[in-house]
A and B are shown apart, each in its own frame.
Chain A
Amino acid sequence: MPPVQRLPDSGRPETLHDAIAGSDAVLCGRGAELRLSERGHAPDGLAGAGVLLRTRSQLAAALGLIALDGVARRIVIASPDLKPEHLPSVIDRAEIDAVLGEDETLAVDGTQFIRLDLQRTEVCHPLLREAHRKEEAVSAGEAAPVGGERKLKPEGLKKTEWVLFTSGTTGEPKMVAHTLEGLTGAIQPGAAADTVWGTFYDIRRYGGLQILLRALLGHASLILSDADEDVADFLARLGRHGVTHLTGTPSHWRRALMSPANAALAPRYVRLSGEIADQAILDSLKSRFPEAAIGHAYASTEAGVGFEVTDGLEGFPAEYVGRRASKTMGAVEMKVEDGRLHLRSSRTASGYVGGGPLLHNDGWVDTGDMVEKRGGRLYFMGRAGGIINVGGLKINPEEVEAVINRQPGVRASRVSGRRSPITGAIVVADVVLTDAAGGNATFRDSILAACREVLPPFKVPAMLRFVPSLALTAGGKLSRHA
């Protein structure tokens, strides 16, 4: 591998395509690889289009991003758990012209579908937009190589907008818009030439996308997991590729530490984010990987990358808050209001697509994460509004309560998170039965069966307790901190 080209200090690459010029890195999925030096053709029919990237594999999503950035007006990256019933509304709200995916089963009725051919590392495209039909007719319809002359970006076209879904809770998923500049703002140039990234995350979510961009900008290879690959197989594959930089949530890491296959790993850099990193997991990782630098990072889909803590302790130094943006801290400022952490930086998202302002009060984003000061340090206390984080997946208690409350015999319920050393939290429920149903334990089975029918396993209460009543707040709402 050639030495890594350092990024110019003067600024970030204009497009992802520029960023990977000269890179011979490889993106490795299970049984498939994408060699960046052989990457394929830009879908010039998509110039200026709004595109929904709906892929089965992470590799295909990476190919789509590389091909479309700087070409499309907007790339909406479908998260792996995006429900089909939300697609029509997404396509409408985000003004999508085409859907890109590996095969036609990913197509959405009424919207142009374009197939991503991973074998040939190219995007197969028919003509798309009226405006470009003429242009294509002139250029004989041949797709220009990405590496060649690029006249794909029409004059005056703004930079491609990158849209991610929040790891959403209930109702319509929220779409959060970013720019490549904002997404890459926290990335330090000039990683070592032999860096091999690996991640337990999915690159179609904010945390994973950060790692993809780190790898691409650093011209480093990246090992990606496959949806139905088991932990031991993925760990073995990471070991075979000699992964040096490995990232995941605390839950991912706990699972990795429970697998004998982690013996194959010797990373130099271990990174955690997406959930609260407690002292136990930090100590366990330090013990298992004594040579590695271990950092836990704070980021959210809306607020972008906040900061990284590398002193091996949970929480973060209180002096981070109130500090002015600077070169060492990056362009991030933080403040705490009503116990909630607020962030302001150039890396925050530019807004929601199709609704709701993101920024309030001079660019501050309310992260919804509660913090508490003890000594010289701030500690994360969980989510405001009762959101439960099970292994990085967020659950709105009201969604589960709604299912429980419509079961016969139920008067009221309160769903909350119980701390778990394995997944950060698990879902538990307190249920009040109607007088007629009172004391009848068979309701437990029917309530849980109903939950299992309509909710994914991580949202189903792991424990269900019958209680005589639930506390209400002075305002008559269910008290969530009882």
Chain B
Amino acid sequence: MGVAAAVVDQFRQVAREQDKPLVALNPDTVLLESGLDSLCFAIIVARLEDQLGIDPFTTSEDVYFPVTLGDFIKFYEDAAGSKAA
């Protein structure tokens, strides 16, 4: 599974578990308007760390937090890329 698919998959799964209504996801979806709360994001980040072996929030030199789903996926893709390199 690619990074983007893994991210979207976790968004859906955590929304279901936490009983949160998830909006239709697209790259421009603002994370905080997706229907998920901070706890959901914390869970998503931990699960992606286990699944992909990366946690760009902790390891990234980038000091900007992702705002949209597109940013979020790119954040992970960049981290996965630099890990593979």
Cβ of A416 under 8 Å from chain B: no
Residue of B whose beta carbon sits closest to that of A252: B38
CB-based contact B32/A231 at 8 Å: yes
Given known pairs A232-B32, A426-B46, A463-B47, the reply for A284 and B64 (CB within 8 Å) is: yes
Contacts of B39 in A (CB 8 A): 390-391, 423, 426, 457-458, 462
CB-based contact B45/A457 at 8 Å: no
A426 to B18, CA, bound (A): 14
CB-based contact A259/B32 at 8 Å: yes
Q: Which one of A286, A287, A463 lies within 8 Å of B46 (CB-CB)?
A: A463
Smallest distance from the beta carbon of A232 to chain B beta carbons, Å?
Answer: 6
Residue of B whose beta carbon sits closest to that of A423: B42
Instruction: Scan residues 422-437 of chain A and give those whose CB is less than 8 A from a CB of chain B.
Output: 422-423, 426, 428
Contacts of A153 in B (CB 8 A): none
Given known pairs A260-B67, A284-B64, the reply for A391 and B38 (CB within 8 Å) is: yes
CB-based contact B47/A422 at 8 Å: no
Instruction: Scan residues 41-64 of chain A and give those whose CB is less than 8 A from a CB of chain B.
Output: none
A463 to B42, CA, bound (A): 11
- What are the interface flags for A77-107 relative to B under an 8 Å C-beta threshold, 1 for contact and 0 otherwise? 0000000000000000000000000000000
Instruction: Scan residues 270-301 of chain A and give those whose CB is less than 8 A from a CB of chain B.
Output: 280, 283-284, 286-288
Q: Which one of A251, A255, A260, A448 lies within 8 Å of B30 (CB-CB)?
A: A260
A-B contact count (CB 8 A): 75
Instruction: Scan residues 186-204 of chain A and give those whose CB is less than 8 A from a CB of chain B.
Output: none
CB-based contact B32/A255 at 8 Å: yes
Contacts of A458 in B (CB 8 A): 39
Given known pairs A259-B30, A283-B63, A421-B55, the reply for A462 and B43 (CB within 8 Å) is: yes
Given known pairs A284-B65, A462-B43, the reply for A422 and B58 (CB within 8 Å) is: no
A448 to B18, CA, bound (A): 11
A254 to B31, CA, bound (A): 12
Which of B17, B46, B64, B66 counts the most A-chain CB atoms under 10 A from its CB? B46
- What are the interface flags for A401-433 relative to B under an 8 Å C-beta threshold, 1 for contact and 0 otherwise? 000000000000000001111110010100000
Q: Which one of A283, A288, A448, A462 lies within 8 Å of B42 (CB-CB)?
A: A462
4 pairs of A and B residues whose beta carbons are closest in the complex: A421-B57, A422-B42, A257-B65, A287-B63
Q: Taking beta carbons and an 8 Å cutoff, which residues of A are in contact with B? A: 230-232, 251, 254-255, 257-260, 280, 283-284, 286-288, 390-391, 418-423, 426, 428, 448, 457-458, 462-463
Sampled A-B contacts (20; CB under 8 Å)? A232-B32, A257-B64, A258-B31, A259-B32, A259-B67, A280-B57, A280-B63, A287-B64, A419-B58, A420-B45, A421-B45, A421-B57, A422-B38, A422-B45, A422-B57, A426-B42, A426-B46, A448-B17, A462-B42, A463-B46
